[in-house]
Amino acid sequence: MAKLGLLFIVIFCIVQITLAARLRRDVVEEGVQTLKKTITDTFTKENVDTFFDKLSQLGDMFKEKAGELGDTIKSKVNEATN
């Protein structure tokens, strides 16, 4: 997740530097190539698979905790009504 945020910051900085400094075309093309390489290195199949695995684990944990919270609320309501 942090890599994604850093990647957006890098993209934003490259765009700002390009627009503000009116860099030469070859410098811009080199920056684009570097950006493409960074994106390719960041979003490898393993990284994406790991991200989705962690996201799935987070969803399962959220489902479990929400179920526990629902059971707790249900038992408290039953205690209060009895």
**Is 31:14 a contact under the CB 8 Å cutoff?**
yes
The rounded percent of the chain whose pLDDT value lies above 90 is 30
In the chain, where the domains are located: 1-44, 48-81
Residue with tokens 């942090």: 2
Q: What tens digit of pLDDT does each residue of 46-73 get?
A: 888 898 999 999 999 999 999 999 999 9
pTM, 2 dp? 0.48
Closest CA to 2 of 62, 47, 56, 33: 47
pLDDT tops 60 at residue 81: yes
